């Protein structure tokens, strides 16, 4: 009979030891999780397990959102660096009688958006006999729309809009290569 009761005691002790080991593993996992997660700024004291799990859940969601944002940015930058048509500048030259309007669009999400310089466009306009009256831009959703209004220096000489358009196209091609 003693043999049976000692085996019951052994089984009970093994269960206790197994439960103790499980609790220690769980505690160590929570401590490891706590060491990985950035603590909230307002927390100077030790967090309860429920608070730690809540904070961890929020932290993981924030990190997932960051990763998604970075993936989108990476795709956008890859499209721009591959020379896709997304960063080609759309150029429009309008003859308004004695005035001239140059409109171009720049996709500013691209890496090389600064290579198509406004100063170079103004220089081309001056070389072709047009005086810049005003220049403006509007940025909407990563797309910048520039508008330059010019007037002829001398009405006798005039301004050739076709020639200006061709020179701006050449400038655009040079900026993209």
What average pLDDT values come out for the chain (177 residues) when binned by 10 residues? 64 90 91 77 71 85 90 74 52 78 70 59 84 84 79 69 83 71
The predicted pLDDT at position 51 comes to: 82
- Residue 16: the pLDDT is 92
- Model pLDDT, residue 113: 47
pLDDT for 24 equals 94
Q: What is the pLDDT of residue 52?
A: 80
Structural domains in the chain plus CATH codes:
2-81 (4.10.280), 86-176 (3.30.70)
Distance (Å, whole) CA 72 – CA 57: 23
**Local structure of 154: helix, strand or coil:** coil
Within 10 Å of residue 118's Cβ, how many Cβ atoms? 14
According to the model, what pLDDT value does residue 41 have?
66
CB 111 within 8 Å of CB 77: yes
């Amino acid at each position: 009979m003693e043999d049976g009761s000692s085996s019951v005691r052994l089984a009970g002790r093994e269960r206790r030891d197994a439960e103790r080991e499980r609790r220690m593993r769980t505690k160590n996992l929570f401590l490891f999780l706590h060491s990985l997660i950035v603590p909230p700024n307002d927390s100077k004291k030790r967090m309860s397990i429920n608070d730690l799990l809540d904070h961890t859940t929020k932290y993981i969601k924030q990190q997932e959102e960051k990763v998604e944002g970075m993936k989108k940015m990476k795709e956008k930058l890859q499209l721009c660096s591959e020379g896709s048509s997304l960063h080609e500048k759309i150029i429009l030259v309008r003859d308004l009688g004695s005035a001239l309007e140059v409109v171009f669009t720049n996709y500013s999400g691209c890496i090389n958006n600064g290579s198509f310089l406004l100063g170079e466009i103004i220089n081309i306009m001056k070389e072709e006999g047009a005086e810049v009256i005003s220049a403006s831009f509007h940025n909407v959703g990563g797309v910048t729309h520039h508008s330059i209004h010019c007037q002829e220096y001398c009405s006798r000489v005039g301004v050739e809009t076709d020639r200006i358009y061709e020179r701006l196209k050449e400038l655009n091609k040079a900026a993209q290569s």
